[in-house]
Amino acid sequence: MPKRNQPKTIAIIGASRGLGLGLAKEFAERGWSVLATERSEGDDLHALADEQEAIEIAMVDVTDPTTFDNVCGRLDDGSVDAVIVNAGISGAKHQSSVEATADEVAHVMMTNAYGPIHLGKKLLPKLKDGGTLAFMSSLMGSIADSSGGYELYRTSKAAQNMLAKGVAEQDAGSRDIEVLSLHPGWVKTDMGGPNAKLTVEESVTGMADVIEASGQCGYRFVDYSGEEIPF
């Protein structure tokens, strides 16, 4: 008898709420097997996992490498079709390079840039050749598009984009793994606020389409509709 097709597998880092939770739900409904992570136990993600047998949960903090094996140890090498690293914060409320303390800079940069890239590199061996490694970025990380303001957040996302492109050039290309910096759009989440233009459902549907169409090797900075964003 012919073998049944195995479902595709995705790891979603930072799935306890908002976009990450929406992505876990979207991919599970599309028939993917989902390993969703949380930094601390979240009721919404566990309720979703109770509804969706395709979702498993692990506890990971991108700023704490001692937790990385909680997800890496659950995955065989070459077993995952896609990874989305979704962790991120806005940073200090003042968002000012003048007012920023060393601790505030370190916190936003580690959470938004260095931590996600570190974990992304750790997960590269788990990806299949021709798979996709995506980092949740922002239009605010585009230097070409920048109008200034939100200095801590913008700088951290620009740094993440630079590091992600480096992963594509140095680590992923030999295995035809595509690296994406994903802008989800302005979304009605805790970070985006109630006046945002997109619902979580609209954003994650678009981003899931982008992931399913990816795997072309190289690096791209794109939004939820697949439109290229200037670096």
Rounded Cα gap, residues 155 and 109, in angstroms: 8
Q: What percent of the chain has pLDDT over 70?
A: 98
DSSP track, 139-186 = GGG-TTT--S--HHHHHHHHHHHHHHHHHIIIIIGGGT-EEEEEE--S
Q: For residue 183, how far is the Cα from the chain centroid? A: 10
Residue 168: give the domain boundaries: 9-223
Q: Looking at residue 4, what is its pLDDT?
A: 54
- Does residue 2 surpass a pLDDT of 60? no
pTM: 0.95
Is 4 a domain residue? Answer: no
Q: What percent of the chain has pLDDT over 90?
A: 90
Provide the CATH number for the domain around residue 131: 3.40.50.720
In this prediction, residue 195 has a pLDDT band, given cuts at 50, 70 and 90, of: confident
In this prediction, residue 15 has a pLDDT band, given cuts at 50, 70 and 90, of: very high
Is 228 a domain residue? Answer: no
Q: What is the pLDDT of residues 110-157, one digit of tens each?
A: 999 999 999 999 999 999 999 999 999 999 999 999 999 999 999 999
Q: Where are the beta strands (DSSP E) in 76-183?
A: 80-85, 127-136, 178-183
* Nearest one of 125, 156, 141, 121 to 230, comparing CA atoms: 141
- Does residue 1 surpass a pLDDT of 80? no
Count of CB atoms situated within 10 Å of the CB of 163: 18
- Does residue 79 surpass a pLDDT of 90? yes
Is 229 a domain residue? Answer: no
CB contact burial 200-209 (16+ within 10 A = b; e otherwise): bebbbbbbbe
Q: Looking at residue 3, what is its pLDDT?
A: 46
Q: What is the mean pLDDT of residues 193-217?
A: 92
Rounded Cα gap, residues 89 and 150, in angstroms: 12
Q: Is 67 exposed, middle or buried (0-12, 13-18, 19+ CB in 10 A)?
A: middle
How many domains would you assign to the chain?
1
Strand (E) or helix (H) holding 58? strand 55-59
Max CA pair span of the chain: 68
Read off the DSSP letter of residue 198: B
